[in-house]
Each structure stands twice: as structure tokens, then as C-alpha cells.
């Protein structure tokens, strides 16, 4: 059965939409066995056995394939080089290429996934399936739990003024409506990557340092995320708005995109002392999370907006359409102008996965989230084997990176 792409429609024409995950496996697994394990894991998940279809009426959906369009290949490149080589090559999602897996000698794996195949936790699910196969075990087929309008409407409703705004935009758009194609998909990728390149900075804290970070957050009576954001505000003066992806999974073990998002304004707390800063940042985040309408707002909003208008917004954001309505909505949604989020924090938390697979053991996982169009740059956080890794993904050329070293120093002290 075909499953419609609704709340995640923005990912269809988003040019910087690739999730990266670098994995180190102890035990020196043979490259051919690793490749084979991933090829056998793809058929166990619905979305790695699907392609994306765009109909002439603008409807987009996943369509089941008999053979996966995802591939696992051998490489001699390091993971940063893989990103550099592949981010400029748009995935053929219309043929089912929703994931690229690169395996190296000495148990090194790099997974590059289109956001339409799922979120960061989805990549972990696929990784576990491959490692189960590598260890000689069986895995079960998992259908994708795609977010539907009915699911979102059961959670909360938009207020009257927001509904009127969406209704008006959809009505005006219908008069000038255009349907976009795979040619537009290729064009937006080409245009974006002509003058963009990823700037990746990463650091893994040892067990003692990770425990120290947790204790510091505990001492301030905040979460690690709130503490981390507060320290980032200490070393970066250019951040006024922070976006935070929110996991909304409800005991769901399938590959799918189960992420919403919130944003907090930080301009008023930047100059405060660290203790006050952590408290206010934490309060702002908890206020958003405790209000169901804020927690699900972005997903409900996008699910009600005309799908082809969302496509047009992405094209307008990158200068590929002069449609006035699309431009206005692009500004309103923060894809253009001053409403862009200055920074994003995507924290996978403690990765809940089995780490021992016979003679093989997962040593580390580095998570590189995509720096999508409405966020200037983003940081990924992952914790496994009691070690936390932070990974910055920026897109500015010739970016000054000394702040990252200062952040690491502050987290360690």
C-alpha cells in the first residue's frame, strides 16, 4: 500500500537533507560480510524498500519496490571525504536510493541517509539489523509508521488565527498553483551546492568527562541539552534563536521520521551568568515541551499547508522561483530573511541499542544531522558506551572554528 508523505513534505525538495552517521566496530569484521549484512538488512525495513513518487496533482508518496534502491559499497575514503564527495550528488529517491552505506577496513562504517528514509533513530534501527545479520542472527520485517493527519489531529489543534492563515495561503496558492517535478529536485540541489560545503567539527568525551558533564547539568538542575545550549551561548555571540528537534516516537521501532521541532529565543539570556542562563534556557525548553500545541505545531502546520506550496517555498528560498506567494510564505516560515534559526541542537541522547554482536562490538557512533535550509548550522549529540560525542555541522565558507575548541574546554572543566 502506498503511504503519502504529509508532515515531512519539506524534506522532498530540501537540498541539505542528508543525515550522516559514522560507526566504529571492534573485532575487525570483513568488508564483504559488512556489505552483505547491510544488503540483507535493507529488505527488513519498508522505507529502504521504497521509492518516492510525485504525481501530476502534486501528491507525493512512498511506493514499495521489489528490490532496494539503497546500496552498500566498499570505500577507502575517510568519512569526512565521503560527505564532501556525496553531499553534492542528489539521491535518486525516485528510484529508491534513500540511503548510501560505505564500509571500510577495520570495522569503519559511514551511513548517509536521506531524511525521507527516517530520522537519526531510524538509522540506528537499520544499523542494528545489519549487525544482527553480521552476527548470524535473524531480523524481523518492520513496516514504516508514517505520521498521518489523523495522528496529528488527535494530539492537538491549531488555533483559529493560524487555521485562517493557512486557509488563506492555500486559497491564494490555488490560483497560481504549479506542480513541481524531478527536474526541479535536481535544479535545487545543483543551485544550493554550487556555493555550499559542509564544515564538520567533532569531539568525543571519555567516560570520566561525560560523567562530569552529566554532573554539571545535575548541579544546575537542568538537562544535559539545556546545559550544552547554555555553554554554546557563552562561546557564540551570534545566536539568538535555537531550534531543537523533538523525538515524538511512541514505542515505535520502525524506520520512519518521528521528529517534530521547537525553537527558543535566547537573545535575552546571552549576557547572563551561567547559572541564570542554564535555568532560563531550561525553563524555555520545558515550557515548549509541556505545551502539546507547541510540541506538534510544526508538523500540524505543514500537514495543513498545500504540498505544492511547500515545494515552492523551498524553491523560493534558493532563488529558483519568483512566485510572490511562495516568497512571502518562505519569509513567514523562516526559510528566508531574519526568521531563520541561528543554531540547532539534535540530541539522540543515550543510544539504546545492543552493542555486542558475537565477536563484534559497537565502539562509537558519531551523529551528523543535516543543516537544513531554515537553520544556519546545527550540532548533533550522541552518547554510547558512556561516552558523549558532539558534532558541529556548519555551512559557511571559511568559517571561524575556535569557538568549538572553547566549548570543548568548557564542557571538560
Q: Are strands 99-104 and 71-74 parallel, antiparallel or unpaired?
A: parallel
Element (H, E) at 209: helix 207-219
H or E element at residue 127: helix 120-134
d(C-alpha 339, C-alpha 325), whole Å: 17
Find out whether 19 and 354 touch, Cβ atoms under 8 Å. no
Query: Which pLDDT score is estimated for 377?
Result: 92
Sheet holding 108-114, edge to edge: 71-74, 99-104, 108-114, 18-26, 360-368, 356-357
- The region, left, alpha or beta by phi > 0 then psi within -120 to 50, assigned to residue 347 is beta
Which set of grid coordinates corresponds to residue 389?
Answer: 560525542
Structure confidence at residue 396 (pLDDT): 77
- 3-class secondary structure, 220: coil
Identify whether the C-beta of residue 280 lies closer than 8 Å to the C-beta of residue 142: no
Task: Give me 211's grid cell.
Answer: 560523567
Per-residue pLDDT of the chain (413 residues; tens, 9 = 90+): 699 999 999 999 999 999 999 999 999 999 999 999 999 999 999 999 999 999 988 999 999 999 999 999 999 999 999 999 999 999 999 999 999 999 999 999 999 999 999 999 999 999 999 999 999 999 999 999 999 999 999 999 999 999 999 999 999 999 988 899 999 999 999 999 998 999 999 999 999 999 999 999 999 999 999 999 999 999 999 999 999 999 999 877 899 999 999 999 999 998 899 999 999 999 999 999 999 999 999 999 999 999 999 999 999 999 999 999 999 999 999 898 766 778 999 999 999 999 999 999 999 999 999 999 888 899 999 999 999 999 999 987 778 899 999 999 999 98
Question: Between the CA of residue 159 and those of 60, 166, 266, what are the distances in Å?
Answer: 27, 11, 25
How far is Cα 126 from Cα 134, in angstroms, rounded to an integer? 12
Check residue 1 and give its pLDDT: 67
Predicted confidence (pLDDT) per residue in 21-43, tens digit: 999 999 999 999 999 999 999 99
The pLDDT, as a whole number, for residue 163 is 96
Helix residue ranges, H only, 236-332: 274-289, 292-304, 307-317, 324-332
Helix (H, G, I), strand (E, B) or coil at 103: strand
Give pLDDT tens digits for 201-215: 999 999 999 999 999
Neighbours of 364 (CB within 10 A): 15
**Domain map (residue ranges) of the chain:** 152-339
Q: Which residues contact 211 (CB under 8 A, 6 or more apart)?
A: 386
- Indicate if the alpha-carbon torsion angle 405, 406, 412, 413 is positive or negative: positive
- The per-residue pLDDT for 240 is 92
Amino acid at each position: 500500500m502506498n503511504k503519502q508523505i504529509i508532515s515531512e513534505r519539506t524534506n522532498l525538495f530540501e537540498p541539505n537533507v542528508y543525515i550522516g552517521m559514522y560507526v566504529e566496530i571492534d573485532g575487525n569484521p570483513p568488508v564483504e560480510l559488512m556489505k552483505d549484512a547491510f544488503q540483507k538488512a535493507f529488505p527488513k525495513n519498508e522505507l529502504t524498500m521504497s521509492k518516492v513518487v510525485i504525481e501530476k496533482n502534486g501528491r507525493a508518496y512512498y511506493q514499495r519496490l521489489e528490490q532496494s534502491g539503497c546500496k552498500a559499497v566498499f570505500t577507502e575514503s575517510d568519512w569526512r571525504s565521503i560527505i564532501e564527495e556525496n553531499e553534492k550528488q542528489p539521491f535518486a529517491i525516485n528510484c529508491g536510493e534513500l540511503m548510501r552505506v560505505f564500509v571500510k577496513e577495520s570495522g569503519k562504517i559511514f551511513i548517509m541517509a536521506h531524511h525521507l528514509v527516517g530520522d537519526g533513530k531510524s538509522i540506528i534501527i537499520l544499523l542494528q539489523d545489519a549487525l544482527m545479520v553480521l552476527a548470524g542472527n535473524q531480523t524481523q520485517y518492520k513496516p514504516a509508521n508514517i505520521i498521518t493527519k489523523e495522528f496529528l489531529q488527535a494530539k492537538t489543534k491549531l488555533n483559529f488565527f493560524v487555521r485562517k492563515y493557512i486557509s488563506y495561503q492555500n486559497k491564494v496558492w490555488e490560483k497560481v498553483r504549479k506542480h513541481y517535478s524531478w527536474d526541479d529536485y535536481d535544479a535545487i540541489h545543483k543551485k544550493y551546492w554550487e556555493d555550499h560545503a559542509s564544515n564538520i567539527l567533532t569531539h568525543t568525551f571519555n567516560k570520566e568527562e561525560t560523567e562530569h558533564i552529566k554532573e554539571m547539568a545535575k548541579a544546575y538542575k537542568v538537562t544535559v541539552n539545556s546545559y550544552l545550549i547554555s555553554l554554546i551561548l557563552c562561546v557564540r555571540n551570534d545566536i539568538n534563536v535555537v531550534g531543537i528537534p523533538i523525538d515524538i516516537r511512541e514505542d515505535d521501532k520502525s524506520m520512519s521520521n518521528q521528529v517534530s521541532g521547537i525553537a527558543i529565543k535566547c537573545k535575552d539570556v546571552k549576557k547572563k551568568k551561567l547559572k541564570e542562563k542554564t535555568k532560563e534556557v531550561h525553563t524555555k525548553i520545558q515550557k515548549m515541551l509541556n505545551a502539546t500545541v507547541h510540541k506538534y505545531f510544526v508538523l500540524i502546520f505543514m500537514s495543513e499547508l498545500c504540498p505544492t506550496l511547500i515545494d515552492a517555498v523551498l524553491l523560493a528560498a534558493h532563488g529558483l522561483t519568483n512566485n510572490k506567494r511562495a516568497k512571502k510564505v518562505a519569509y513567514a516560515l523562516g526559510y528566508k530573511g531574519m526568521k531563520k534559526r541561528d543554531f540547532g541542537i539534535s540530541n539522540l541522547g543515550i543510544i539504546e541499542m545492543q552493542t555486542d554482536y558475537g565477536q563484534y562490538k559497537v565502539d562509537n557512533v558519531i551523529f551528523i544531522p543535516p543543516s537544513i535550509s531554515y537553520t544556519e548550522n546545527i550540532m548533533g549529540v550522541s552518547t554510547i558506551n558512556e561516552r558523549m560525542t558532539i558534532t558541529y555541522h556548519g555551512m559557511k565558507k571559511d568559517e571561524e572554528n575556535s569557538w568549538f575548541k572553547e566549548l570543548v574546554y568548557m564542557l571538560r572543566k
